[in-house]
Chain A
Amino acid sequence: MIKKINILILLMFVVNVCYSQKERKVTFVGGARSVMTNNRLVVNDTIAEDTSTAKRNTGGYALIDLGVNIKPNKNTEILGMFRIKNNFGGFWGSGVTFDVRQLYMKGVVANALRYQLGDLNLKQTAFTLYNHHADAIDSLPTVFNLQRNIVNYEKFYQKNTWRMQGANVDFGISFKNIIKEINFTGFTTRINATNFSSVPERLMSGAVIQIVQSNKLSASYNINSVYDVKGTVLDSNSFTNKVQSIDASYTTKIKENNLTIAAEIGNSHYAYSIDTLAPHLKDYFIHASASYKIAKYHTKATIGYLEVGPEFRSIGAQSKDINYNALPVYYDRYTNAQNIRPIALIDVISNDNIYNRTVSSKLLSENAWYNNAMPYGLATFNRVGAYGSIHYKKDIDAVVSYYNLSEIKGQGTFALQNFSILKCNAKIPLQAYLKTAKKLEVQLGTQMQNTNRTSTVEIENVNFKNTQYTAGINWEVFSNFELMVGLVSQNAIGTHFIADRNVYTEVTYFHQNKLDIQQQMKAVGLMYHFSPKIYLSTIYQQSKFVDGNKQFADFNINQFNIIYNMLF
């Protein structure tokens, strides 16, 4: 540890020398955060009072992310970011960690080709490489969003990107006639490193060739391939998952309104080279949508068609951000039997421990409590149907969307499951109606998912409902001082089936699952903004978990947080 601190001091000295030069070749970027938490667990076990779990828990940490951005010349940029983290109670080595958080080099070759080496944030289309955040709550009240933003920062989530390590290049060619420009992007990243015996080196490579005909019309060819590098292990069996697609978008103006028609069609191939037990999964997808934006009414209406084959597999687009098999950070075991506590709403909102930073080679399991209809977002396999949405945005920002989908191939039966999703979310700036300068914003949201299957065999029937309600108020009481109140309620009730899948993603068994889960989170908080990038907040929140079927013991977690956060 002392050696690492010495290296850091030396580095800072060198940087300081550079920094003091006339040209600003070196800048500091980063952030700092301090979180203090006080938790209390209440277990309502029907068998006996939980006398085995410590109910009070106090913790927290302070950390600084210190990034040094070096620009040795106008075409090159290097970023190295260190993290020093001290868990509360740690001092001089104990509980202190020192890590490299980010490292990349980027630049431009011959004023034409951009490159980046090291850490990359990558995204392609919704079916080739995309972090769908499928189980995220669309309208999360601000008091919870503060905690969710910490998860996003920790896991480098930037909209729908995945964090990866490798190399990326892109360049564009402009034309005078017919075609406006052609853009090319290509990358190679490492999914996992070999252990030189049983785990092969696994890479992901991708490319996008985009042809922009005009501001109205563009088309792209996208390819994403995950593959094992032969020779990195003695076993010559190698895995490949290749996804390719063509997408096109056409936008035209009709009077003052805009019509956009977009479509993407593609296929996937998922196979092992010599494993005779492994299936060769091949399938295709179609996604088409049309949006009409009516300027006069500040409204955009969208309708779409979605068809994703039952054997469509895409590691880049079907990786889940949440690992439901991970242990929660607080009270991972509870009850006298010390059972594993299920991943609850409080974990989904604020526990970065259960979130994945990058894509996963394995198809991670879904959790019907949070999303049964589209657990892998638009890339969920075995779905066909249509959707529509209306988005109004003036002072009020409101969206209503509806999905009507069904399976293409039955799961354990010829009868197909039907899915419907209704989402209504609104953000209402009451200050605009109350004629006050201080912000008073109300957030309201609901999501209802229904899954049904009606079969001639009663045991095969599915009737499952998943509902979610959110409400939040964000009131600027004084200048830069906000009061936040939030509520999230999540229920999962009914009967459905959980599929066991083998390593090849094939279904091997179905478990009937009867659920009656009711969860609720309530929070109240205060936040003071020192500047747009620095705030201090205190939050008190109550999380309640009730299982009507008593498969899990009921519990409440009450939590008091003090969060100081800054970015620079």
Chain B
Amino acid sequence: MKKNLSILLCAILFFSISCRKNKTQFDGPSINEIYSDFKIIDSFKINKDSVNFTNAETAVFSAKFNKIVDWTISIYGATSKATKIISGSSKQIDISNATWNGSSTVFPIFNTENCKAILRVKDLTDSFMVSTKIVGTKKLDGFMIADFETGIKTGWTKFAQTGANMDFQVKSDSIAPEGKKYLSMAGTVNWDWLIGLIDFPAKAYGTSPVFPLGTNPNSEYFNCLIYGVPSTNPSLVLFQFREDENENGTFDANTEDEYDYQVTVDWVGWKLISVKYADLGYLVNGVPATPKGNGLRNPNKLTKISMLHLANPNDGFASSKLDLMIFTQNGPLQP
């Protein structure tokens, strides 16, 4: 009996001594901070009075608070009206969470212009402002298919139906999200889904029968800006990607792969569409189907891109706009 009790007491003593208490850290955010009044410890700043994004420069915002807060920095272009929004939840704003590379969140994209950046903190009525100047705009890295700055290029093939209120022209006005021009597409075609199309063959960009893209479909991204026009029927914008698998210089629809990406334009204003080449599917009348070639997505064998503006013939007038068709590598476009 005594022996057993001794063992038991030793065991309890061992466990009592071995019990751990973690005094160096705690779980979650500090309660003291959460329930204290908000204070700004280091004021809101930007590290450059002027920034040249063309040279891959960046602008870094900074501020420090006494507790974790939800914050938003809104950067406004004085002339372009472009907007960039950076947001986060932290005690500190610094290079890790508030670096601006010249990109836009709300189109158009920034021009060389003066900008103001406003910091807003959730549940705080006051806001904080700093200014900077863009002396060089962000370079768009990638293979440009169409920015329409020089109109319809030689080598592209354009077709537009002869419906009512037709518009399939390159236009220049304040709506342009990048540069000065964009493609305007509109019309009523009550006998067909197709309103108009443009073919972009690889040969329009040089002598090669294929676009200069890499072999990895997971690295190549197709991007485009599409504008949804208010109070019109939804447009369908269909992109077709045709591959010359046997590299004979032509596309055979019966034996080679075509991949498609269809967008229903059900928004108002400009929106960036980005899709990874590996995520493209094959559509027949909008329904997924099996490609007719080898079934492998080969961006390096892409020979022709077609952009079709479609709409339900029973719905009447449809309109949308298009700009900045570009391939980027290793990620979507950051305009």
Which of B23-31, B56-64, B74-82, B236-244 interfaces with chain A?
B23-31
* A-contact 0/1 string along B156-173, CB 8 Å cutoff: 000000000000000000
Q: Does B20 contact A (CB under 8 A)?
A: yes
Tell whether A414 pairs with B26 under 8 Å between CB atoms, given A305-B16, A408-B20, A510-B34: yes
Q: How far, in whole Å, are A499 and B19 apart by their CA atoms in the complex?
A: 24
Is B1 a contact of A254 with CB atoms below 8 Å?
yes
Q: How far, in whole Å, are A568 and B26 apart by their CA atoms in the complex?
A: 55
Is B23 a contact of A508 with CB atoms below 8 Å?
no
Q: Does A252 contact B (CB under 8 A)?
A: yes
Picked from A259, A382, A384, A509, the residue with its CB within 8 Å of the CB of B34 is: A509
Q: Which residues from chain A contact B1 at a C-beta distance below 8 Å? A: 254
Is B27 a contact of A508 with CB atoms below 8 Å?
no
B281 to chain A, nearest CB (A): 14
The majority secondary structure among interface residues of chain A is strand
Q: How far, in whole Å, are A10 and B288 apart by their CA atoms in the complex?
A: 43
Q: Does A303 contact B (CB under 8 A)?
A: yes
List the B residue with the shortest CB-CB distance to A287: B15
Is A510 a contact of B19 with CB atoms below 8 Å?
no
Q: Does B12 contact A (CB under 8 A)?
A: yes
Is B28 a contact of A507 with CB atoms below 8 Å?
yes
Q: How far, in whole Å, are A286 and B15 apart by their CA atoms in the complex?
A: 8
Is A412 a contact of B19 with CB atoms below 8 Å?
no
Q: Which residues from chain B contact A416 at a C-beta distance below 8 Å? A: 21
The majority secondary structure among interface residues of chain B is mixed
Q: How far, in whole Å, are A510 and B20 apart by their CA atoms in the complex?
A: 24
B116 to chain A, nearest CB (A): 32
Picked from B4, B23, B31, the residue with its CB within 8 Å of the CB of A510 is: B31
Tell whether A303 pairs with B12 under 8 Å between CB atoms, given A412-B28, A460-B32, A507-B28: yes
Interface size on B, residues (CB 8 A): 25
Picked from A252, A384, A410, A509, the residue with its CB within 8 Å of the CB of B4 is: A252
Q: Which residues from chain B contact A382 at a C-beta distance below 8 Å? A: 27
Q: How far, in whole Å, are A497 and B21 apart by their CA atoms in the complex?
A: 20
Q: Does A261 contact B (CB under 8 A)?
A: yes
Per CB-CB distance, the 7 closest pairs between chain A and chain B, nearest first, are A507-B28, A410-B26, A412-B31, A409-B22, A305-B15, A459-B35, A507-B27
Q: Does A310 contact B (CB under 8 A)?
A: yes
Interface size on A, residues (CB 8 A): 34
Q: Does B296 contact A (CB under 8 A)?
A: no
* A-contact 0/1 string along B29-42, CB 8 Å cutoff: 11110111000000
Q: How far, in whole Å, are A413 and B23 apart by their CA atoms in the complex?
A: 10
Q: Does A549 contact B (CB under 8 A)?
A: no
List the A residue with the shortest CB-CB distance to B31: A412
Q: Which residues from chain B contact A87 at a C-beta distance below 8 Å? A: none
Is B26 a contact of A413 with CB atoms below 8 Å?
yes
Is A412 a contact of B22 with CB atoms below 8 Å?
no
List the B residue with the shortest CB-CB distance to A456: B32
List the A residue with the shortest CB-CB distance to B34: A510
* A-contact 0/1 string along B227-249, CB 8 Å cutoff: 00000000000000000000000
Picked from A263, A303, A384, A411, the residue with its CB within 8 Å of the CB of B27 is: A411
Q: Which residues from chain A contact B36 at a C-beta distance below 8 Å? A: 459
Q: Which residues from chain B contact A460 at a C-beta distance below 8 Å? A: 31-32
Task: Give 27 pairs: A residue, B residue, CB < 8 Å, sorted on A.
Answer: A259-B4, A261-B8, A286-B15, A288-B11, A305-B11, A310-B22, A384-B20, A408-B20, A408-B22, A409-B22, A409-B26, A409-B27, A410-B22, A411-B26, A412-B28, A412-B29, A412-B31, A412-B34, A414-B26, A457-B32, A459-B31, A499-B27, A499-B28, A506-B27, A506-B28, A507-B27, A509-B34
Q: How far, in whole Å, are A460 and B1 apart by their CA atoms in the complex?
A: 47
Picked from B12, B23, B28, B34, the residue with its CB within 8 Å of the CB of A305 is: B12
Q: Which residues from chain A contact B32 at a C-beta distance below 8 Å? A: 412-413, 457, 459-460
Q: Does A367 contact B (CB under 8 A)?
A: no
Is B4 a contact of A508 with CB atoms below 8 Å?
no
A383 to chain B, nearest CB (A): 11
Q: Does A422 contact B (CB under 8 A)?
A: no
Q: How far, in whole Å, are A259 and B1 apart by their CA atoms in the complex?
A: 9
Q: Which residues from chain B contact A259 at a C-beta distance below 8 Å? A: 4
Is B28 a contact of A307 with CB atoms below 8 Å?
no
Q: How far, in whole Å, are A507 and B34 apart by their CA atoms in the complex?
A: 13
Q: Which residues from chain A contact B15 at a C-beta distance below 8 Å? A: 286, 288, 305, 307
Q: Does A336 contact B (CB under 8 A)?
A: no
Q: How far, in whole Å, are A242 and B260 apart by their CA atoms in the complex?
A: 44
Q: Does A512 contact B (CB under 8 A)?
A: yes
Q: How far, in whole Å, are A205 and B36 apart by their CA atoms in the complex?
A: 47
Beyond the given A288-B15, A412-B30, could you list 12 further A-B residue pairs with CB under 8 A, ordered by the A residue number? A254-B4, A261-B4, A261-B7, A261-B8, A261-B11, A384-B19, A408-B19, A409-B22, A409-B26, A413-B26, A459-B31, A497-B31
B299 to chain A, nearest CB (A): 20
Q: Does A209 contact B (CB under 8 A)?
A: no
List the B residue with the shortest CB-CB distance to A311: B27
Q: Which residues from chain B contact A261 at a C-beta distance below 8 Å? A: 4, 7-8, 11
Q: Which residues from chain B contact A305 at a C-beta distance below 8 Å? A: 11-12, 15-16
